[in-house]
Structure 1
């Protein structure tokens, strides 16, 4: 059983805004330190950014409006805590405590991911999808139910009727759809809105990739300040995660669908 939401779901809009701000941070600095939280809904987007990077509010507003449309922007940018900043002064160290479990994807999870992306290509609007063995549930806004029924005749489609969706119907918040992003993998933190020194990003990516390669469950934990995880220097974990993020086009692209 698995759920996926698409990039126009309010929670994913929040993730994408946070990801785009992290992308901007990496354009400004080689190794930025940043954590972004976004809450959006009903015409307002609240954004809190803790960072070493100097941003102009106008830059952040442009990102929010590009992704979310014409909303009121409430933006707060503060310097990252000095203790967290000092943790990274001498070398790349683990930037957070964390627990992580990477799991190989199942055929069911791969199948639903493809269904979600196929529907989104035709209907790029707020949508949520569930697959439980042979039971497929499709909730897709801005789409005719009969049209979807032709594509997926056995599916349960829009049980409450056709709907509009988006941030005027529901609120969105960063890192609220981790099940959709990670399938059966597990984390104590969130994937989105953080730089790669944060274990929530780098170690989660690392254990997921290792689980796909080995076809085995991978469990790891770390403490803030660790210089080694899974027998590797933490800098190597960060490098693997950075290569993955670069390969898919950046943190905003990563936020759209998560790890699968």
Structure 2
């Protein structure tokens, strides 16, 4: 059983805005420390940003408008806590406590991800999809249901009928769709709105990629300040996560679909 949402879902809009702000921080500094929370809906976007990087509200507003359209903004930028920043002063160390799990993707999860991507290519509007065995549920806004019925015979299409979707209908919040982003790998914190020193980002990515490579579950635990996780330097885990983020085009792109 798996649920997937597309990148126009309100929660993913919030994730994408948070990712875009993290991208801005990485353009300002090589290794910024940043944590972003976004709440968006009904014409307003609230963003709280803790960061070491010099960010400008005009750049943030431009990113919000590019992703979410014409909305009022409420942006708060504050310095990251000095104790947290000092944790990284003498080298790359684990930026958070947490437990983490990487799980190999199942055929069902890969299939639904393919369905979600394919539908969004033709219908780039708010959508949510569920696959439970042979039961496929497709909820796609602003779309001809007959076209989807023809493409996916036997699927349940918009069970309550047509709908509008988007942030004018519902609110979105950062890291609220972790199942959609991580499948069975969900344990601790969310993937989005944070720099690579945060274990929620780097250790989650590392554990997921290791599980896909080995075909076996991965379970890890770390404490803030750890220099090693899974028997390797934390700096190596951050480097692997950075390579992955770079390969897909940055944190905003990462936020669109998560890990699969």
What TM-score results when the alignment is normalised by the length of structure 1? 0.99
Q: CA RMSD in A?
A: 0.5
Aligned match of 2:170: 170
2:18 match: 18
Structure 2 unaligned segments of length 5 or more: list them.
none
Deviations 1:21-61 (A, max 9, x none): 10111111000000000000000000000000111111110
Q: Distance in 1 between matches of 2:85 and 2:203?
A: 19
- SS of the residue 1:181 aligns to: helix
Q: How far apart, CA to CA, are the structure 2 residues paired with 1:236 and 1:259?
A: 19
Deviations 1:194-223 (A, max 9, x none): 000000000000000000011000000000
CA shift digits 1:95-122 (9 cap, x unpaired): 0001001000000000000000000000
Q: Distance in 2 between matches of 1:24 and 1:55?
A: 7
- CA deviations over 1:115-161 (Å, ceiling 9, x no partner): 00000000000000000010000000010111111101110000110
- Residues 187 and 200 in structure 1, CA contact (< 8 A), matched pair in contact too: no
Cα deviation for residue 186 of structure 1 reads 2.1
Using the alignment, how far apart are the partners of 1:145 and 1:186 within structure 2? Answer: 32
- Listed as ranges, the matches of 1:139-158 within 5 Å are 139-158=139-158
Aligned position for 2:210: 210
Equivalent residues in 2 for 1:82-101, closer than 5 Å: 82-101=82-101
8 Å Cα contact 1:187-1:204 kept in structure 2? no
Deviations 1:157-193 (A, max 9, x none): 0011011100010000000000000000023111000
Query: Aligned partners of 1:49, 1:253: CA distance in 2, in Å?
Result: 19
Secondary structure of 1:31 counterpart:
coil
Contact 1:12–1:255 at 8 Å: present in 2 too?
A: yes
In structure 2, distance between residues paired with 1:7 and 1:56: 25
Which residue of 1 is the match for residue 49 of structure 2? Answer: 49
Aligned to 1:188: 188
TM-score between the two structures when normalised by the length of structure 2 = 0.99
4+ residue runs over 3 A deviation:
none
For 2:95 and 2:232, how far apart are their aligned partners in 1?
Answer: 16
* Aligned partners of 2:28 and 2:55 also within 8 Å: no
SS at match of 1:131: strand
Structure 2 residue matching 1:187: 3-state secondary structure? coil
Q: State the Cα distance separating 1:19 from its structure 2 match.
A: 0.4
Aligned 8 A contact 2:9 2:126 in 1: yes
Q: 1:64, 1:174 → 2: CA distance?
A: 14
CA distance in 2, matches of 1:171, 1:110: 27
Stretches of structure 1 lacking an aligned partner (at least 5 in a row): none
SS, match of residue 50 in structure 1: strand
Matches within 5 A, 1:62-77: 62-77=62-77
Output the CA distance in 1 between the equivalents of 2:49 and 2:186: 25
Name the CA distance, whole Å, in 2 between partners of 1:37 and 1:65: 17
d(CA) in 2 for partners of 1:104, 1:214:
8
